[in-house]
Structure 1
Amino acid sequence: MYKLMLIVLMMTVWVSVHFLQTDEEMAMKLLYQSKHALNRAAHAASQQLDPIAMADGVLRIDPAAAEAAAAAYLQANLQLDADGNPLPNSPVRERVTVLAFEVINNDRSFPYTYRNPQYEYEATLERPGVVLIIHVVYPRAFTLLGPIEWDIKGISELTVR
């Protein structure tokens, strides 16, 4: 009888560990999806040229258009509404917040080193670009464990050909 109880106990432990591993894999999948969405949003934002400055021969990113493009790409790639809340088919379950959005234009000298001590982020730009930091939460399947939270950081420069 004790062997039967031991087998049941070991199966319970094994299944629990398997569920924890599956939960961790789902969290990593969300992290990768969020990072790819952030990179796409930052790249789209960095390509929004200011038409008035471009008419004068100056390559400058339009901050308003860049912010709109970044928001649109985040919404499309993570399936969010306009407030950052997840839609029914979204890979995220909680609100995605934009922690930092900064357009670095040619009013600074390049190479420019962007520093954000609050989120422990530093990057060097060779030309105008956009910095984007978002906060994503993955609620764990086991409520005994706390949620996994990330501050995902990305940067993109204006590409010129």
Structure 2
Amino acid sequence: MKFQTRYAEEDDADDILSLWYQYSDQLSAIDDRYQHKEDAGEQWLDYFLNRMIGTSKAAVFVAESEEVDDLLGVIEVRVMGAHPIFQLEQHGMIFGHHVRKDYQNQGVEGELLDRAEDWFKHEKNLSFYRVNILAANGYLEDVYEDYGLKQIEHTFEGAL
């Protein structure tokens, strides 16, 4: 299937929200704390329209195909500040990288990552980026390892 990536636009909000709900469902299957709250859709739409569109510190890219009515996937990228103590300079961060289940592992994930890397490197002049995933998310772990990303940290959690 042929597809392309592009900047998300305001008119994409409902399709991206649909992808976001699917992403939330996928995450909540791993950890039920990731179930979306009742008003999550309204909050996400406000966030997307007022904090993601037209800002210089973030972008949302979508994948689409003329063969499919809905968007295939989405990736959100942001510029994160430098660390005040360590020599970690300003860097990129990936949030909300999701591809519809029927189109996973068909190259969409990599194309979205390519678009994110291009934005980080050429538009924001950053030297590295990061992405966090749940430890039990084998699908995205495989995607990122196959793409060539390296695991650099472990996050531990304790119940109280």
| TM-score in terms of structure 1 length | 0.23
TM-score (norm 2): 0.23
The higher radius of gyration belongs to: 1
- More strand as a share of residues: 1
